[in-house]
Structure 1
């Protein structure tokens, strides 16, 4: 399981679902006093690895109010038997 790829995929999916570009994300992050550049976001997303704090900052900036981790169960081996 590539957890970094999963995390970046989740964030990319939320951005796409909300029709938010990386440039718009920069602006939204600035409104919550998080200072990133378009290049730094592009680098993090293409690298597919970033800190969980960045994920939470993005989630807050784009208005995610509920994150269901049980939606990941099908991708985690033996998750349903735990």
Structure 2
């Protein structure tokens, strides 16, 4: 398992964070709106937790996919 301070881990966490932030911006979705959309999927996070989690970038692939599905992002460019 990769360590949190491994440069490769940090690089990909940053990429995941930037990808999610870009999709939110492209769709015009705020963290508060994302929290509402995630709740519909059964994922309960408040605006502050989302802000912290996304800013850190250390979230799971499952969380990334939940967010993308919640905002109906069907095509994502890497």
The two structures have a TM-score, normalised by structure 2, of: 0.81
Q: Which structure 2 residues correspond to residues 1-80 of structure 1 after superposition, within 5 A?
A: 2-68=11-77, 72=78
Detail structure 1 runs of 4+ shifted over 4 Å in the superposition.
none
**Rg larger in structure:** 1
Structure 1: runs of 5+ lacking an equivalent: 73-82
Structure 2 alignment gaps of length 5 or more: 1-7
**Separation in 2 of the partners of 1:10 and 1:46?**
12
RMSD value, Cα: 1.2
TM-score (normalised: structure 1): 0.77
2 CA distance for matches of 1:46 and 1:25? 14
